[in-house]
């Protein structure tokens, strides 16, 4: 079944977890999908098969979002060949938790480079092509409630995710007159590879809804922000956290 409106959305980090759920939901909503992972993996292949099964046109890009030059080259070549994306979901990210007193420099750097520099590396080369396409567009960043509240053991991650919210809001101002909306989602504890049983056990008592969230519950908010109905929403942060922040 061909996609309905042929709007293409790139979702970084869509081999698994939240990114995969976003890709599947957006495929069901009729978008053409560009998947992305750090490298080709069985998970990424499986996501590709699932997106295809949902009836969407799909292609796959692989690059390390920390590698500025190769990201720019691969994205530029992809849009020259296939045309500019309508939407971006800036989702790829990592956490590496340790108390700040014991945080080695490389642990600080890898989390900042992936979550924050990754935003620059992916979004900056695409901004002018998106503006020049004159079709409007959508950018959704995946921050974290950790960037809103601060979280013990996550000084690096909270810093990167808070910075991502600042970047999102500032970029929203720069692109508003071009009908390109820029918003963030800030998930709480979502059941993916990123979260282990130890973290879940300790966090559960703090979550008013007393359960972890599921990736599709983040994907629902991302799909809404991507939709026509959300055309007047920009510079906002949607918290998806079972009431954790409030």
Total residues interacting with ligand NDP, rule: CB under 6 A: 29
Instruction: Tell me which of 7, 25, 38, 138 binds ligand NDP, using CB under 6 A.
Output: 38
**Closest CB to ligand NDP among residues 5, 245:** 245
**Closest CB to ligand NDP among residues 64, 97:** 64
Residues annotated catalytic, as ranges? 157
**Closest CB to ligand NDP among residues 13, 242:** 13
In whole angstroms, the minimum distance from the beta carbon of 177 to ligand NDP comes to 28
Question: CA 42 to CA 84: how far, in whole Å?
Answer: 27
Question: CA 240 to CA 152: how far, in whole Å?
Answer: 19
b/e 51-73 (16+ beta carbons within 10 angstroms → b): beebebbbbbbebbbbbbeebbe
Interacting residues with ligand NDP between 178 and 207 (CB under 6 A): 187, 189-190, 192-195
b/e 167-185 (16+ beta carbons within 10 angstroms → b): bbbebbeebeebebbbbbb
Instruction: Tell me which of 9, 10, 11, 18 binds ligand NDP, using CB under 6 A.
Output: 18
137 lines the binding site for ligand NDP (CB under 6 A): no
**Closest CB to ligand NDP among residues 10, 189:** 189
Instruction: Tell me which of 16, 24, 48, 119 binds ligand NDP, using CB under 6 A.
Output: 16
**Closest CB to ligand NDP among residues 15, 181:** 15
Question: CA 110 to CA 64: how far, in whole Å?
Answer: 12
| 37-45, 121-129, 130-138, 229-237 -> range binding ligand NDP (CB under 6 A) | 37-45
Q: Is 121 in contact with 93 (CB distance < 8 Å)?
A: no
64 lines the binding site for ligand NDP (CB under 6 A): yes
Instruction: Tell me which of 2, 39, 81, 196 binds ligand NDP, using CB under 6 A.
Output: 39
144 lines the binding site for ligand NDP (CB under 6 A): yes
Residues in contact with ligand NDP by CB under 6 A are: 13-19, 37-39, 41, 43, 64-66, 91-94, 114, 142, 144, 187, 189-190, 192-195
């Amino acid at each position: 079944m061909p996609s309905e409106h042929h709007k293409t959305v790139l979702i970084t980090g869509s081999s698994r977890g939240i990114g995969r759920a976003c890709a599947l939901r957006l495929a069901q909503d009729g978008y053409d999908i560009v998947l992305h992972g750090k490298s080709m993996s069985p998970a990424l292949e499986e996501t590709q098969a699932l997106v295809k099964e949902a009836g969407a046109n799909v292609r796959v890009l692989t690059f390390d979002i920390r590698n500025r030059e190769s990201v720019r080259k691969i994205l530029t070549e992809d849009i020259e060949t296939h045309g500019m994306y309508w939407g971006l979901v800036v989702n790829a990210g990592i956490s590496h938790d340790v108390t700040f007193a014991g945080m080695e420099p490389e642990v600080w750097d890898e989390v900042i480079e992936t979550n924050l520099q990754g935003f620059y590396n992916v979004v900056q080369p695409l901004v002018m092509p998106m503006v020049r396409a004159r079709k409007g567009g959508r950018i959704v960043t995946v921050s974290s409630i950790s960037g809103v509240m601060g979280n013990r053991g996550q000084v690096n991650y909270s810093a990167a995710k808070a910075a991502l919210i600042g970047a999102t809001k500032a970029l929203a101002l720069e692109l508003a007159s071009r009908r390109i909306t820029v918003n963030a989602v800030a998930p709480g504890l979502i059941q993916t590879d990123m979260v282990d049983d130890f973290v879940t056990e300790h966090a559960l008592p703090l979550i008013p809804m007393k359960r972890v969230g599921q990736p599709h519950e983040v994907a629902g908010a991302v799909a809404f922000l991507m939709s026509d109905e959300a055309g007047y929403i920009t510079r906002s942060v949607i918290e998806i956290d079972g009431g954790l922040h409030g």
